[in-house]
Structure 1
Amino acid sequence: MKNVIILFFILASTVQAQDGKHEKIKALKTAYITEALALTPTEAEKFWPIYNSYHEKFHALRVKERTEIFGKLRNGLGALTDAEANELIDKNLAIEASELELRKQMTAELRKVISPKKIISLKKAEDDFKRELFERYKQGHGRRKQ
């Protein structure tokens, strides 16, 4: 019983630490994009609810992709039949089409609150943030191995 309680606390602290990391990354991303786009306080007030709403929808699509597509690939490609492979291709294309549709909808909404140049800069800012985050991750893991 004592081991179960200890395991519970370890799992709870791990989940809490991951939530903390997620929130920290979200805050860093918010600051990064706000600065990269040079959003005014008025623009930021209108931009972030739209962006966050669509970010949640994009996240749901990525979860769907992981469960429906990558989940089937865990056993390797050799275990797939041609029919299953075709089904995965169709699911992947449907998810990509959904992502494109979401991006179009988000862009239409953002056009009402920020300039077209800032909308174009948004994609670059997102990519730059991901790249920088990945570099920090690599550097952190490199230090731990030494």
Structure 2
Amino acid sequence: MKKLVILFLFMAATVQAQDGKHEKIKALKTAYITEALALTPAEAEKFWPIYNSYHDKFHALRVKERNEIFEKLREGLNKLTDAEANDLIDKNLAIESGKVQLRKQMTAELRKVISPKKIISLKKAEDDFKRELFERYRQSHEKRKD
């Protein structure tokens, strides 16, 4: 636990130096997942390069989804032809398939460095982190309104 606190403090200092919201969130997520999975230093050393590599690939898919699908939907569903709608459906299915494929590849690599229970716990930890981050954002946004 002491090592985790030291790691968190180190990351917090690094984040302040970089002064970027994205980097701060990434550091908080790293600490959160490390603690939630109870990663040993040896596991963390092997886990994070794999996780970060796949996180970048997932991010690229989300950007593609935003650029190719959501932008088109913002123009309005009523403006879409059937051919355009079918194209969006196909793009969405391809992106979702890509996400599943990435999850399978990441899981296969993680099986070599952490236990299956920790792999299962990873998805929950990611979801819990997103939920907590959203809740903090919502609370800070409500405070600004007051």
Aligned residue pairs, count: 128
Query: What is the rounded CA distance, in whole Å, between the counterparts of 1:104 and 1:127 in structure 2?
Result: 18
Instruction: Summarize deviations over 1:81-130 as a string: whole Å, max 9, x none.
Output: 01100100000000000000000000000000000000000000000000
Report 1:2-41 matches (<5 A).
20-41=20-41
* TM-score normalised by the chain length of structure 2: 0.87
TM-score, normalized by length of structure 1? 0.87
How much has 1:31 moved relative to structure 2?
A: 0.1
Match of 2:90 in 1: 90
Point out where structure 2 has 5 or more consecutive residues left out of the alignment. 1-18
**2:85 counterpart letter in structure 1:** A
RMSD of aligned C-alpha atoms?
Answer: 0.7
* Superposed CA offset, 1:66-92 (max 9, x none): 000011112110110011001000000
The 2-side partners of 1:73 and 1:103 are apart by 26
1:66 aligns with 2:66: yes
Corresponding residue SS for 2:20: helix
Aligned residue identity for 1:77: L
1:35 CA drift (Å): 0.1
| SS of equivalent to 1:113 | coil
* Structure 1: tracts of 5 or more residues without a match: 1-18
Q: CA deviation at 1:53?
A: 0.1
* Structure 1 Cα separation of the partners of residues 90 and 125 of structure 2: 31
Give the C-alpha shift of residue 21 in structure 1.
0.6
Q: Quick check: which has more Rg, 1 or 2?
A: 1
